[in-house]
Amino acid sequence: MRAGFCASLVVSTLALAFVPGGPASSAHPCLAEPPHGPAVPAPIVLSSTCGMFWLSTDGHVLRLPRRWLAHHGSGTGRRFGAHLRLRTTRDGRIHLFLPRRMLWRSAGLYRNSVSAVAFGPRLFAFSSYGRGVFLTDLRSPEHRVVSARNAYLLDFTRAGRLLAVSGRTVILVSRRGDIVGRDTFSPSRGLSFDSTSDTLYFVTPANVLATLRSTKVRRVASVAGIAGSFGLAQPDLLTWGTEHAITVTTRRAEIVASAKWDPELGSADLGVRASSDGMLFAFRVTSAKPRRRNAGAGNAGAGVFVLRRDEHDAREVYRQRYVQVGCGVGGNLSWHGHNLLYDSGQGHAVILQPDTAARVSLLQLEERLPKRASSETIGTAWASDYAR
């Protein structure tokens, strides 16, 4: 009787292993059904090692098709040459391919030296460390147009002029490879190219905001009273920042909002994110430092702040314990209307509504979402951030 009982037990155990939803299913976490999530103000896309998932406004979670991102992502992100594929051979020769044939290959070898590439209207440029910047019309071999070893690329204008930088100098190169403009800027203040308006913004050594459009440089206004380096923000704004202060201005350097804080609170580390209507500005301040091996987390924290247009005092809308691992900066802030999605970069995302002080945590959903490792960090983004 005992032998028969044991045989029955073995058969029962084997049968259970093949029942859908039985213990064998737990060995394949990617096959688990997505959990139900919280109601959200707009759809959200989550990503894990098991794939991508769509969170609807009613909290329903759907598994997205395997190639969904290929059809909804931004692709190469290029304005020009998006149909071209770039490959570099082991010996350093650059190849550009059309879908079914090779279009162009470099005459020279640039093994382990290509630092940047740029695609223009029927043009291609790249910078090679120690050798300079090279340009081709894709019908001829590349030729060097900037010889400075520390030169790097910014972008092409719609007219095919190449913007390059060497030290403190912005260099404008024609389609033929002739240098048609040079302007000095302040590296500590930064420079940014707005491809939508085909305009380069920079700050001169005399602390004057200037623009370069076509081949014409225009001095806009003095920014001597505005601290920090700047970046572009929509709609038609500039954000200026130091570790302990931010300022938002128009593209004419008129101040529309600003904030300062005690250095003991920490430093801004994610830049400034403007809402699409230009009325709200979000940033993070953290006191976290890179954690050394075997060192404790300490009491470091991070706070998300929102600054309103025409105001000069930001309000903290969210606070968390935060530990910076290594030298990288984790986290992201993004707006959908006046709803702010904050992804801490450490496995917890939350939606903040500064107008009502409401918040929606995605922590439980992230913890239960199908993934290959329980310690895995889930990526989150507004569905509207993906191309349609």
More confident residue, 80 or 360: 360
Per residue, the 3-state secondary structure of the chain, as one string, reads CHHHHHHHHHHHHHHHHCCCCCHHHHHCHHHCCCCCCCCCCCCEEEEECCEEEEECCCCCEEECCCCHHHHHCCCCCCCCCCCCEEEECCCCCEEEECCCCEEEECCCCCCCCEEEEEEECCEEEEEECCCEEEEECCCCCCEEEECCCCCEEEEECCCCCEEEEECCEEEEECCCCCEEEEEECCCCCCEEEECCCCEEEEECCCCEEEEEECCEEEEEEECCCCCCEEEEECCCEEEEEECCEEEEEECCCCEEEEEECCHHHCEECCCCEECCCCCEEEEEEECCCECCCCCCCCCCEEEEEEEECCCCCCEEEEEEECCECCCCCCCEEEEECCEEEEECCCCCEEEEECCCCEEEECHHHHHHCCCCCCCCCCEEEEHHHCCC
pLDDT at 334: 96
The CATH number for 80-195, chosen from 2.130.10.10, 3.90.650.10, 3.40.47.10, 2.60.40.10, is 2.130.10.10
Tens digit of each residue's pLDDT (9 = 90 or more) over 234-248: 889 999 999 999 999
pLDDT at 299: 56
Indicate if the pLDDT at residue 325 is higher than 80.
no
Comparing 10-24, 128-142, 310-324, the range with the smallest average pLDDT is 10-24
Tens digit of each residue's pLDDT (9 = 90 or more) over 145-184: 999 888 999 999 999 999 999 999 999 999 999 999 999 9
Mean pLDDT of the chain: 88
pLDDT at 70: 76
Indicate if the pLDDT at residue 6 is higher than 80.
no
**pTM of the prediction?**
0.84
pLDDT at 26: 53
Tens digit of each residue's pLDDT (9 = 90 or more) over 246-297: 999 999 999 999 999 999 999 999 999 999 999 999 999 998 765 544 444 4
More confident residue, 141 or 287: 141
More confident residue, 150 or 134: 134
Indicate if the pLDDT at residue 2 is higher than 60.
no
More confident residue, 111 or 291: 111
For residue 329, name the pLDDT band (cuts at 50, 70, 90): low
Tens digit of each residue's pLDDT (9 = 90 or more) over 177-234: 999 999 999 999 999 999 999 999 999 999 999 999 999 999 999 999 999 999 999 8
Indicate if the pLDDT at residue 16 is higher than 70.
no
Mean predicted confidence (pLDDT) in 88-97: 96
Mean predicted confidence (pLDDT) in 42-68: 94
